[in-house]
Chains A and B, each alone.
Chain A
Amino acid sequence: MTLTRFVTKNAFRNRRRSVLTVLSIGFSLLLLTLMMTIWKSFYIDQGSVLSAQRLIVRHKVSLVFNLPSFYREKIRAIPGVTQVVNQQWFGGIYKDDKPENFFAQFGTDPEELFKVYREYQMPADQLEAWKKDRAGAIVDSELAKKHGWKIGDRLNIKGTIFPLNLELTIRGLFTAPQNTQAMYFNKTYLDEGYAPAKGAEGIFAVLVDTPDNVPRVAKAIDEEFRNSTRPTKAETEKAFQLDFVQMLGNVKAFLLSISLAVVFAILLVSANTMAMSIRERTREVAVLKTLGFTRRSILGLFVGEAVSLSVMGGLLGSLVAFGVVAGLQKQGGFMTGLAVTPVTILVSLVVAALVGFLSALVPSYHASQVDIVEGLRHIG
């Protein structure tokens, strides 16, 4: 019998306890993996190559304020800028205000939208049809699938921010690398239906020629409008998204404190199990010692057992996290950027192993110190 086999045999001698421990650690590590995945997508990922090449320009004070439409041509004139498209958040209600019926609605310019968002794919004839129809709209194919829409369907949206209801016809379905949950319509429709909307835009999406030029262009844009009545804030798409995250509050502290609580909880669970199973084996330890096992090897046996249990929990947790994240991705919106990567899994396995190691140290040290005669006399 090899040492590894001895360890695994022992780890499952009390099958129920081992299974419960693995499950308990597994669920905690599932949470830890989820927290790390969210952390990574918020604070570490830089987005796709195209996304890193895009700037979002908004009013410096708040998104609720508009920018004048003529800024678009001024931005276009800045060296390094290749394309600029306007976007106005409509924020209307489709059917009712239930969260499942919520999706993004933007008034934009059909001529240039796809030139800025090059990763979006749509058949050319659909794009032509949209350009020709002022009351036309295009939707993300995933969103269309969710609501059962097809080309030619009518789409009625009640305005809340704007005193205007949209009566649109779907002219195209586009696909994006990630579900955008978005509907785009012709901004002119809004301008004609509600005169004060004319000449004002929510944001401008700017495509810069090379990623290296992005910081310089952003600075140049802000500099251009610094002394106007409506100063701007130009930032990368990623930073723009992070602004929304920061609005939720101190997200970093929130994620960190939950992760700490989770790690501490698994430490307790694992330590508990090891304490229980080692105490039951006081006699066995004495027998092992009489057979010539050194203190160190006994210590190693128990630590190995704890580590293998917690790593199994870690594997289980990461596996479930994989499924959960895949499920969340289908929801779209904020969750689309999430992905469990091998690095995240590796980190949670390392955490699991460390926790297992730490939890077994104290009880197995005690076990290894037991006096042989005392141990043999010990009654379970």
Chain B
Amino acid sequence: MAIPVSYNVRNLKLRKGLTIMTALGIALTVATAIFIMALLAGLNRAFGSTGDPLNVLVLRKGSTSELAAGGVERDAMQTLKELPGVAKNAKGETLASGEDILVIVLPRRDGTGEVNVTTRFLTPLGIEMRPKIKLVSGRWFNPGQHEVVVSQSINKRFAKTNIGDTMQIGSGFWNVVGIFDGSGTAHDSEIWGDINQLTTDFERTVYSSVLMRATDPVAAAALKNRVSDDQRLKLAGLIEPEYYESQTKSGAPIKFVGFIVAVIMAIGSCFAAMNTMYAAVSYRGREIATLRVLGFSRPSILTSFVLESLMLSLLGALIGIVLMLPFNGMTTGTSNQVTFSEVVFSLQLTTGVLMTAVVFAVVMGLLGGFAPAWHASRQDILGALRG
């Protein structure tokens, strides 16, 4: 027969101070783990949700980023446009956008220094090919003008990015005319401007990349292979979402440090939980013996104490989650390891993160609770009753 759970609940309540302090210790560990996982989840969201599976990104062969030396020659653009499987819009224009990437320096709003920001130069067609990106205020840039639009996150984090402000790119001055919402994609960390104006300013002879839209998924795969296999072009095609996913490795240092921190803290908390549970067992030596005399088996006592430890750690997980909830959606930045420029992302307390946190706490509870529970179930009945 199993010992009722209410027995454990009452015991935890009886030693309120001890329970709360142990749970708080676990809560701190869980909160730290949640913080790190939420950072990574936010980064994954920024890169993972970028791109349309119908879009094919064309880069120079061997290159892994839009910022590498050499790109797509302007002459190749015509060849690319004529490849089979490239979609056209309602107006009959071929959906292919030659784009250029520059990095500029902007001061942070909070005055903590200057950061590199990615600036993408494209045509209105390029905007059309990214339907997730919505204008929230102002207007899009006009082709042939020194005008840029900035993302909401950039606008929030950097000075001189309000509508009406002017920023220097190279030797030219560009007016901010609009703000767009990148809906959590990598474009949330970008500023967009007109490519033709840039070409005139900088005398660029190559595009950093070309984005093309295929008519359907099968055509996208075929287009990607056709671009990569063409020996004259020396280019490589990538399905757009795959390209951005490969950039999530920017989170590697956070992951590495976070993992070490979480594991060390968890070990510390395990010992603390073990201590509390050993105390719980030793206080109740007589009780346990009585339970045994009443006919509760060893396994049921073992389960009961493990359960109590689990409850303790779940309480800790709950407090940890509540502590971290206010941080959900908080935006922060790290650097893209490929372009050395700012990636803006937000802390995401996804269900996945919360579930992992709970599992993390449960593991701590199990590890901390098993030895004391085992000890309790093996106690000498007579000795304990006498003591």
List A residues at the B interface (Cβ < 8 Å): 16-17, 20-21, 23-28, 30-31, 34, 60-65, 99, 158-163, 194, 196-197, 229, 246-250, 257-258, 261-262, 264-266, 268-269, 271-273, 275-276
Contacts and interface: CB of A to CB of B under 8 A. Distances in A.
Contacts of B271: 20-21, 23-24, 27, 269
A31 B265 contact: yes
B267 interface: yes
A247 B340 contact: yes
Contact of A20 (B261, B275, B335): B275
B279 to A, nearest CB: 5
Contacts of B340: 62-64, 247
Contacts of A269: 25, 268, 271-272, 275
Interface in B267-288: 267-272, 274-276, 278-279
Given A158-B62, A261-B28, A272 B21 contact: yes
A143 to B, nearest CB: 20
Interface residues of B, number: 55
B233 interface: no
28 contacts: A21-B275, A24-B268, A26-B268, A28-B265, A30-B264, A61-B116, A62-B105, A62-B341, A63-B340, A64-B339, A159-B62, A160-B63, A160-B65, A161-B68, A162-B68, A163-B63, A163-B69, A196-B69, A248-B334, A258-B261, A262-B265, A265-B28, A265-B268, A268-B21, A268-B22, A269-B268, A272-B276, A276-B279
B80 interface: no
Contact of B69 (A21, A197, A261): A197
Given A99-B252, A160-B64, 10 more contacts: A23-B271, A31-B261, A162-B69, A194-B70, A247-B340, A249-B332, A261-B265, A265-B28, A266-B268, A272-B25
A260 B234 CA distance: 53
Contact of A160 (B18, B68, B270, B333): B68
Interface string B251-269: 0111000001100110111
Interface in B55-83: 60-65, 67-70
Interface string B329-362: 0001111000111000000000000000000000
A257 B112 CA distance: 18
Contacts of A23: 268, 271
B269 A24 contact: yes
Nearest to A161: B68
B144 to A, nearest CB: 23
Contacts of A161: 63, 68-69
A30 B263 CA distance: 12
Contacts of A158: 62
Nearest to B117: A62
B47 to A, nearest CB: 15
Interface in B141-174: 170-171
Contact of A249 (B278, B335, B341): B335
Contacts of B28: 261, 264-265, 268
Contacts of B268: 23-28, 31, 265-266, 269
Contacts of A24: 268-272, 275
B104 A20 contact: no
B272 A61 contact: no
A93 to B, nearest CB: 9
B31 A271 contact: no
A163 B62 contact: yes
A249 B234 CA distance: 36
Contact of B265 (A62, A159, A265): A265
A60 B105 contact: yes
Contacts of A61: 103-105, 116
B313 interface: no
B105 A268 contact: no
A17 B279 contact: yes
B69 A275 contact: no
B24 interface: yes
Given A61-B103, A250-B332, A163 B278 contact: no
Minimum-distance CB pairs A-B, first 9: A247-B335, A24-B271, A27-B268, A249-B334, A62-B103, A20-B275, A268-B25, A28-B268, A269-B272
A16 B278 contact: yes
Interface string B102-140: 011100000011001000000000000000000000000
B21 A27 contact: no
Among A160, A229, A247, chain B packs the most CB atoms within 10 A around the CB of A247
A197 B265 CA distance: 48
A258 to B, nearest CB: 6
Contacts of A276: 18, 275, 279
Given A196-B69, A269-B25, A246 B265 contact: no
A71 to B, nearest CB: 18
